[in-house]
Amino acid sequence: MSIELRHLRCFLAIAEESSLTRAAARLHLTQPAVSRTLAALEQHLGARLVDRSTHHLALTADGHAFRDRASAALAAFEAAVDPARLHHRPLRLGHAWSAFGRYTTPLLRRWQREHPETPLELLRVDDRTAGLARGEVDAALLRGTVEAPGLVTTELTTEPRVAALPADGPLAALPSLTLRDLAAETVVLNTVSGTTTPALWPPTARPTSTLTVANTDDWLTAIAAGRGVGVSSASTAALHPHPGVTYRPLPDAPPLPVLLAWRDAFPHPATEALATMAREIAGAEPPAP
């Protein structure tokens, strides 16, 4: 058999709905038809994409990997067959936290003024690539080194790092801190979309205790509750104030690069204009040719 777009759309609906019944309703198909389409796709690929052995449907490891390729394939198809519509569809800009920092509002306002025909949609996605690798957005504002196949990145600016501390803790009384000051504390790490890892510390002074969370909100809550301390970019302090969290400079930590990333295959036509505008707003020099 040959794989058609309906197989990809069916699988992506299942992945997004986590239910054969809801996927069938979304696609206006019967549940048996959805099951047959999924089975045919799995047979063609020679891999099980969906685990149906539990009460809650879940993707297998192969299913997660295939979801990214299926999303990219559909996006490429739509670009190929309807380029006129693509020029005017919204440009979806993902971010995992803090967007473009203090430049966020200037970017959104200038884009609306200069490109009213292409709405710029800012979307928060708790993912290391802010939804870019999964095809959920067209471009993404990312921080730190990003290693994902098929992505193009350009550095827009850098941000200093800060320590995030319980507001009533002893370290909050200090005007600034060093990484060694934090090493004796439990360090809260956002392992889904964050950039801080124990490797940020010198090998001889790495934290002995860590606590992992899945998003910025849980990160802030854990610190405010006194469960640990954190390290983030200065824009986090500006855009995510919390009554239970105090931010202090961390001058010995290396600055964090802020990147704009997009897929190298079939990018949104307005991507280059977005990159140029973002560089201009941040005051960054264009990359060398």
Kindly report the average pLDDT of the chain as a whole number.
Answer: 90
- What pTM value is reported for the model? 0.70
Least confident of 44-48, 84-88, 92-96, 271-275: 84-88
Instruction: For residue 255, tell me if it sits in a domain.
Output: no
Task: Answer with the residue of higher pLDDT: 248 or 126.
Answer: 248
The DSSP secondary-structure symbol of 174 reads S
Give residue 71's pLDDT.
83
User: How much of the chain exceeds pLDDT 70, in percent?
Assistant: 93
Report how many domains make up the chain. 3
Same structural domain, 131 and 205? no
DSSP characters for 75-86? HHHHHHH-HHHH
Return the residue matching tokens 């910025």.
Answer: 216
Give residue 289's pLDDT.
39
Q: Which candidate, 26, 18, 159, places its Cα nearest to that of 99?
A: 159
Task: Write the pLDDT tens digit of every residue in 235-245.
Answer: 999 999 999 99
Instruction: For residue 254, tell me if it sits in a domain.
Output: no
Same structural domain, 130 and 173? no
Q: Is 124 helix (H, G, I), strand (E, B) or coil?
A: strand
CATH number at residue 222: 3.40.190.10
Same structural domain, 234 and 176? yes
Instruction: For residue 287, tell me if it sits in a domain.
Output: no
Q: Which domain holds residue 232?
A: 161-249
Instruction: For residue 19, tell me if it sits in a domain.
Output: yes
Neighbouring CB atoms inside 10 A of 72's CB total: 17
Would you state the structure tokens that stand for residue 202, as one six-digit string?
């010198």
Give residue 79's pLDDT.
65
